[in-house]
Amino acid sequence: MSKITVFIGVMLCVLGFYGYSASEVKSVTAFIPLFVGLPIAICGGITMKKPSLSVIFMHIALTLALLGFVASLMKALQLDEFGSVKSVSLWSMCVLCFILLGAYMQSFIKARSNKEG
């Protein structure tokens, strides 16, 4: 699970740099995927180094992914233009965060069923 977390976090960081470099208007808001992805990647890296801390850092990463998903979805649904750098960046962030949320839900369900069984 930590490898997926690091991968999605790095992909969000790359998306932030892409959004900034590809947009005509240079704005710090283009780095929002980076601001979400970097802590997610760090949480994944910590769980790789110290598996004993995985529960807390996986929940932190889950919370960040949930916030990233909700925020990007709400903003993407308000867009009037499609195909622009802004819309691609928002929808990509939404999809990446959703994939991470799905992976976490599957992992938590599996861990819960292993405890009960």
pLDDT tens digits for 94-114? 999 999 999 999 988 888 888
- Give the pair of three-digit tokens for residue 116: 């009960």
pLDDT score at 30: 87
Burial 22-45 (b: 16+ CB within 10 A, else e): eeeeeeeebbbbbebbbbbbbbbe
Is the per-residue pLDDT at 81 higher than 90? no
Q: How many structural domains comprise the chain?
A: 1
Cβ distance 12 to 37 under 8 Å? yes
DSSP secondary-structure letter at 78?
T
Is the per-residue pLDDT at 117 higher than 80? no
Q: Pick from 101, 99, 102, 94: which is nearest to 76 by CA?
A: 94
Q: Pick from 115, 72, 117: which is nearest to 92 by CA?
A: 72
Instruction: Dump pLDDT digits (tens) for 26-60.
Output: 888 889 999 999 999 999 999 999 999 988 999 99
Measured torsion, CA atoms of residues 78, 6, 3, 14, in degrees rounded to the nearest 10: 70
Average pLDDT of span 75-91: 88
- Please give the residue range of the domain that contains residue 32: 2-116
Percent of the chain having pLDDT more than 90? Answer: 69
pLDDT score at 92: 94
